[in-house]
Amino acid sequence: MFFRVLKKDQIPTFIEGLAVDYEVIAPIAKGLAYVFAPVTCGARVVLDYPTTIVPPTAYFLKPKEALLRYNSADGEVVETVKDDRKRILFGVHPCDLNAILMTDKVFLGDYEDPYYKARRESTLIVGVSCTPRQSCVCHMFGANEVLQGYDLYLTDIGDAYFVQCSSVEGAQLLDTLVETREATAEDTRALQKHVARFRQTLGEAPDTTQIPLLFDARYDEELWEEIGSRCLSCGACSAVCPTCYCFDIVDELDANGVTGSRVRCWDSCLNSQFAEVAGGHDFRPTRASRVRHRFYHKFWAYPARYGKTMCVGCGRCYTACKVGINPSRVVAALQGDVGEGEA
C-alpha cells in the first residue's frame, strides 16, 4: 500500500479542490445530528462525527428514482439517463464502507443494476476512521475493519491523518490538491496507537460463531413473539440501516395522463402488505413474523447466499427504534447469553 500523511488543517483545502470537478458528499452538522450532504465549503465538513442519520448507501440506492420513462398510449419506453455524475463520498466510516460492499453483492451480482452500477463506478470513496459510540457493535460482525472498497482511507493520528491510497485516481487527487508527506516511523507508531485506542473503546467482541445456525434452529421459538410483541412495525430501523435495501416499483403518470415514469422507491419488509399476494393471502401477517424476517434476512438468508452477516453493527436501528430493539441483544438472546425479555 501507498501511504501519505495529511495535516488536518489541509482538509478544507482538499475538499474545496475536489469540489471543482466532483460533487463532494460529506458529513455536516444538522441540528444536533449529522448528515451526508453535498458541500462546496470545506469548513462545513465534520470528520470526527459520531454517525449520520441516513447512511451513505443512500447515494447508490436512492430513496426514490425513476428507472424508465414511458408513453402509456403507445407503449414506447426509454431508459432514464443514468446518473453517472463524478462524485466523491468523503468521510465514510468503516461500518458504512462494509455496508456498501454488501449492497454491491446484491446489485452487481448475476443481474447488474445499471443505475446502481453507474453511480458506483463514477463515485470515489474517501473513508475515515471513527471513535466508537456506546451503541456501536461493528466488531461483532467484523465490520470494524476496512480491507477494500475505498480510494483513500484516512486514519486520525492526532493533528494529521494517516492516508492509505488504494486507487490511482485517489492518489493523484491527493498529490495534486494538497501537500502531504511520506509516512515516517513515528507516524506508523501514531497509527498503532490509534488502533490500540480503537480496540480498547470497542472492547472485546462477543463471539458470533454459528449465529446463522442458531437462527435457523430457533426459528419457531417464543423469543420472536416476545420481540414481535414490542415491535411497532414502524420501519424506522430499516429506513436508517445501511444494509437494508428492500424496494418497491410503481408507475407514476405525469399531469398529462399519458407519459410517466416507472419509479423505484425504498420499501420495508416491516410494512404490513409486503408479502401479501392476490387473493389476500399474506405470508407474513403478524408484526412478529415481519420483525423476525428482518433479522433472518440479515443473520441467516444473506449469509447463506453471500457468506457474510448483513449487519455492520452501526447501531442506527437501535438508536431509531422507539422500543429499543437491538440486533446485538437479539443475537445474545439467541445465544442464550441474556434473558429473552432483554433482547
Partner 1 sequence: MKKHVRVDASKAYRALEQNPYRPWAARITSITPLTEKETLFEFRIIDHEVREHFNFNAGQFMELSIFGVGEAPISISSAPSKKGFIELCVRNSGTVTGALHEMSCGDVVGLRGPFGRGFPFQDMKGHDVLLVAGGLGIAPLKSLINHIHDERQAFGTVTILLGARNPDEILFRQQFDMWRHREDFNLIMTVDTPDETWDGEVGLVTRLFDQIEVDPANTIGVICGPPVMYRFVIEKMREKNLPVDRIFMSFERRMKCGIGQCNHCAVGHQYACIDGPVFNYWEAMNLQEAM
Ligand X SMILES: Cc1cc2nc3c(=O)[nH]c(=O)nc-3n(C[C@H](O)[C@H](O)[C@H](O)COP(=O)(O)OP(=O)(O)OC[C@H]3O[C@@H](n4cnc5c(N)ncnc54)[C@H](O)[C@@H]3O)c2cc1C
Residues forming the site for ligand X (CB under 6 A): 273, 276-278, 280
Using rule CB under 6 A, residue 241 touches ligand SF4? yes
Nearest residue to 311 via CA among 60, 149, 99, 56: 99
Residue 101 makes contact with ligand SF4 by CB under 6 A: no
Which residues are CB-neighbours of 239 under 8 A, at least 6 positions away?
54, 266, 268, 320
184/272 with CB nearer ligand X: 272
The option from ligand SF4, partner 1, ligand X, none interacting with 280 (CB < 5 to 8 A, set by class) reads ligand X
CB of 59 to ligand X, least distance (A): 28
Long-range contacts, 39-47 (Cβ 8 Å, 24+): 39/15, 40/16, 41/12, 41/16, 42/11, 42/12, 42/13, 42/14, 42/15, 42/16, 43/12, 45/11, 45/12, 45/15, 45/90, 45/91, 47/11, 47/91, 47/128, 47/154, 47/156
Provide the minimum distance between the beta carbon of 251 and ligand X in the complex, in angstroms, as a whole number.
10
Minimum distance from CB of 282 to ligand X (Å)? 8
Among 235, 292, 296, 330, which residue interacts with ligand SF4 (rule: CB under 6 A)?
A: 235
Instruction: Give least dist CB 268 to ligand SF4, A.
Output: 8
Closest approach of ligand SF4 to the CB of residue 323, in Å: 5
Selection from partner 1, ligand X, ligand SF4, none that 327 binds (CB < 5 to 8 A by kind) is ligand SF4
Residue 253 β-bridge partners: 260
**160: phi then psi, degrees, rounded to nearest 5:** -145, 170
Binding residues (CB under 6 A) for ligand SF4: these are 231-237, 240-243, 270, 291, 298, 311-317, 320-323, 325, 327
